[in-house]
Amino acid sequence: MRFLSLAALAAAPLAAQSPATAITQVSVVDVVRGRLVPDQTVVVVGNRIVSVGPARSAAVPAGAREISGAGKFLIPGLWDMHVHAVTDWFGWFFLPQLVANGVTGVRDLFTTAEAVATWRKRIGSGEVPGPRVGAFGSLVDGDPPIWGPQSVVARNPAEGRRVVDSLAAAKVDFVKVYSRLDPATFAAIAERARAVGIPFAGHVPQLVPAREAAQLGQRTIEHLTQVVLGCSHREAEFLAESRAAFESPGKWDSLGVLSRGRIAALLDSQDPARCADLADAFKAAGTYLVPTTTVLRSVAYLDDSTLALDPRLKYIPAFLKTGWNPKTDFRFRTRTPADWAAAKKLHARELELIGLMHRRGVRILAGTDLANPYLYPGSSLHDELSLLVQVGLTPLEALRAATIEPARFLGATDSLGSVAPGQVADLVLLDANPLASIEAVRRVAVVVADGRVYDAAARARIMAEAEQRAARGLR
């Protein structure tokens, strides 16, 4: 299976990259071995790390730009493994901010090959600051699709197979499966994806058990879709009710009402043994979880008016902020006060499950679902890592979820995910030790993205421009 072209990932054009940069006397965070290596000098030429070694004996190329790392900590560039940013509109607002906050790689789950090619060219040439686009997918949903004409629709198994063939021919990195696919069509997509060698990832459809999705080969499960249900001893009963609702005239509206109404019963029927078995099934299948804890939190607390006081809103254009109002968002506008209370209880269970899955050995990737309500480019990934620590990961484990684990998932550890000679120069210099506290990822001093250096002044310019662009609401 492929998830991306390593040539596209690691060999971006070198225009505007610094000829040589040396970060001196820095403590390198070895995310693979889980240790600090103090007093190192890291030399970058073009977009590659050429040497990492003791500062006292390091050979710094003549004319290199030297950056003092004394008292600072160097980590691999961070990855946000679930964004909606690489589009004609969102790219201008989100991509520069991601880099300014230390996110040097993204996986976009709802875009087009044309948009990705355009943004890779802009970023690679140095026209616009931005992260590398490590993987991208097109959304495949049932009928009617939740996101309308932007989605690819598969109404039956034959259409599902044809969609996989067309996306593979278009060189999409993966097929994003979505919530309204019926079980037979989902199974056909899984079968055809295996046959043509393209992964599938995304939501577990609402009529499919999470265990079955993993067994069919789903590479990632986003937002814990169907995971809470999979931990219930009433899973089969609830799925049968959902299928009956699906057969009703207003099938998806009926199913939505049903789902909201049975949250209490779902939480009351949680079974620790079933949950452990489900986690073991994910581990055995090699299925990753991308919990996007930040978006789970925001949609559970979207009725909280204090969210609108976040100072980071100045970087978000008005047209997007308007869509974050739960009274206008089609997904939330029918929620009652009782629904909001139930959503918060469900979210508390989701947090417990992330910790449980992690303890059972399920691999976690850090992602935010950027573009959804009250998520901010880059800084919400910092929030995500903090939340992962709160649910039970160590700071090192959380950091791995945004560095070496994405590289492993993408099959790119030869070029990404660590600070070592031969690696692409995606680096973040921090003012504090992230192994002592994950909050250190917020204290960004310098970002190196594909060899380009963004110091404090450059990062401040990016954010000032982002604020101005948001105020204009224009690209």
* Cβ neighbours for 162, distance < 8 A, ≥ 6 positions apart: none
Mean pLDDT of 358-368: 98
- What pLDDT was estimated at residue 228? 97
Confidence of residue 12 (pLDDT cuts 50, 70, 90): very low
pLDDT at residue 121 tops 60: yes
pLDDT at residue 156 tops 80: yes
- What pLDDT was estimated at residue 323? 87
CA torsion through residues 164, 166, 172, 178, sign: negative
Mean pLDDT of 319-331: 85
Mean pLDDT of 337-352: 95
**β-pairing verdict for 427-430 and 444-449:** antiparallel
- What pLDDT was estimated at residue 257? 66
Q: Which of 160-164, 323-327, 402-406 has the lowest mean pLDDT?
A: 323-327
Confidence of residue 122 (pLDDT cuts 50, 70, 90): very high
Tokens 């417990």 appear where?
Answer: 352
Distance CA 355, CA 80 (A): 20
- What pLDDT was estimated at residue 4? 46
Tens digits of residue pLDDT in 209-228: 999 999 999 999 999 999 99
pLDDT at residue 7 tops 70: no
Confidence of residue 245 (pLDDT cuts 50, 70, 90): confident
Tens digits of residue pLDDT in 70-119: 999 999 999 999 999 999 989 999 999 999 999 999 999 999 999 999 99
Confidence of residue 10 (pLDDT cuts 50, 70, 90): very low
Whether the CB-CB separation of 105 and 134 falls below 8 Å is answered with: yes
Q: Which of 160-174, 178-192, 234-248, 390-404 has the lowest mean pLDDT?
A: 234-248
- What pLDDT was estimated at residue 85? 97
Share of the chain above pLDDT 70, in %: 94
- What pLDDT was estimated at residue 136? 92
Which conformational region is residue 75 in: left (phi greater than 0), alpha (psi within -120 to 50 degrees), or beta? beta
Please report the DSSP string for 412-459 in residue order. -TTTSSS-STTSB--EEEESS-TTT-GGGGG-EEEEEETTEEE-HHHH
pLDDT at residue 41 tops 70: yes
* Cβ neighbours for 72, distance < 8 A, ≥ 6 positions apart: 26, 27, 429, 430, 431, 445
Confidence of residue 259 (pLDDT cuts 50, 70, 90): confident
The hierarchical CATH code for the domain 77-417 is 3.20.20.140
- What pLDDT was estimated at residue 329? 78
Mean pLDDT of 21-28: 98
- What pLDDT was estimated at residue 140? 97
pLDDT at residue 252 tops 70: no
Q: Which of 127-131, 247-251, 368-372, 433-437 has the lowest mean pLDDT?
A: 247-251
Tens digits of residue pLDDT in 281-320: 999 999 999 999 999 999 999 999 999 999 999 999 998 9
- What pLDDT was estimated at residue 1? 40
Mean per-residue pLDDT of the chain: 93
- What pLDDT was estimated at residue 15? 34
Share of the chain above pLDDT 90, in %: 85
DSSP 182: -
- What pLDDT was estimated at residue 334? 83
- What pLDDT was estimated at residue 430? 99
